[in-house]
Every structure is written in C-alpha cells, then in structure tokens.
Structure 1
Amino acid sequence: MASIKLKAKSLEGGLVEVKALMTHPMETGLRKDSATGELVPAHYITEVVVTANDKEVLKTNWGGSVSKNPYLAFSYKGAVGDKVKLTWKDNKDATDSAELTVE
C-alpha cells in the first residue's frame, strides 16, 4: 500500500497547488501502550522534500509533534507538465516517495 496520496493542479497566475496525505504513525515516544504500560517507541517523519522537474521547491524538517497521517499543502511557481515528486524520510531511516505530472 502506498503511504502517500499526492495531488497537484495548475492554478491561474502560474502557480501549481500541491496536496499530500502521508500515512505514518508519527509516534512521539512519549505515549504509553494502554495494554502493556510500556512507552511506544518514537517513529516519525523527519524530512519531507518536494521537487518539480528535479528542482527542490520545498524542504521541511519535522519532529514528533506532527500529527498522525500528516497532510501538507502548498503552492509554487510552475506549470502544466511539471514532474512533481515528494519524498519523506523518518527517524528509523525508512523512506517513501510518490510522483506525478501536473495536469
């Protein structure tokens, strides 16, 4: 199952709107498991990078305070036909990415 739902559309004025929903537990490491009482280990996205035509348009550094299944939306100067790619990396060195062409 893909962990990223990625959408991008061209807007008026030469902008492209990007929306992404990432499926991830985003555990802080501070929550206790209700069954065992043990702390649930930290597991969260640390970095998100978005490129358009291989040029970086957004880079974020996240921590454990971001909610489960984070949603990200932003716009950049672009056009129809741009190749948009979003990649995330987490604190356990797992990564995932999704890409599309702007319509």
Structure 2
Amino acid sequence: MAHQILVHAMAAGGSTTVEALVKHPMDSGFVKDKAGKLIPPHYIEVIEFTHNGKVVLTGFWGPAVSKNPFIKFAFKGGKSGDSIGVSWVDNKGETASTTAKIM
C-alpha cells in the first residue's frame, strides 16, 4: 500500500502551526469486509514530528484513530525555510516519512 503524508507548516508570531494528513487505513481489527471476515488490525502506533531534526511532538496512536488521520498542532519557534519532518511506524512494522519547509 502506498502511504502518503501531506504536511503544511506556517510560522507567525513566534510559533509554528503544523497540519498533516496521513494516508493510512487505520483498521481496528473489529470491522468485517463484504464477505463477513474480520479485517486484520493495521494502524499507526507512533508518529513523530521534528523541527530541524529536534523532536517537537510524539504521538502514540492505536486502533481507535480514524482512517487517514488529520493532525494539527503548534510549537514555539520555527521560521520560514526551517525543516519539518514527519515519520510514523505502524503495528505491521511499515514506516513512512517526509519533510517540508515552514512557510
């Protein structure tokens, strides 16, 4: 499965707001397919955001998070042109990561 992370970060007034849309099925393991069989669990366990290589947010997720989750947060500091990194690991050991520049 192709995983994708869309990130937007904007600096203003001494803080940076980060928005990310993470394309992931986030299957809980409790939902059945059309044939009536349970879809195996497949969800992000850890997501991490960095600013110029320094961790600014770590999230511990589980099967209760919806498909294609959206996350928005702010942190103090950051300026236009700085780097924002996003990476995650799911319960099957799959990973994805991306970087973006703060606007």
Partner residue of 2:83?
Answer: 83
Residue matched to 1:56: 55
Counterpart residue identity of residue 87, structure 1 = S
What is the TM-score with the length of structure 1 in the denominator? 0.93
**Structure 1: segments with no counterpart, 5+ residues:** none
Q: Give 2:26's aligned residue.
A: 26
**Which ranges of 4 or more aligned residues in structure 1 deviate by more than 6 Å?**
none
- Percent identical residues: 41
TM-score (norm: length of structure 2): 0.93
- The letter of the residue matching 1:24 is H
Using the alignment, how far apart are the partners of 2:47 and 2:79 within structure 1? 22
Question: How well do the aligned residues superpose, as a CA RMSD in angstroms?
Answer: 1.1
The secondary structure found in structure 2 opposite 1:41 is coil
Count of residue pairs brought into register by the alignment: 101
Query: Once the two structures are superposed, what CA deviation does each residue of 1:28-77 show, in whole Å capped at 9, x if it has no partner?
Result: 0011112x211000000111000001100000100000000000000011
Instruction: Give the Cα–Cα distance (whole angstroms) in 1 for the partners of residues 3 and 62 of structure 2.
Output: 22
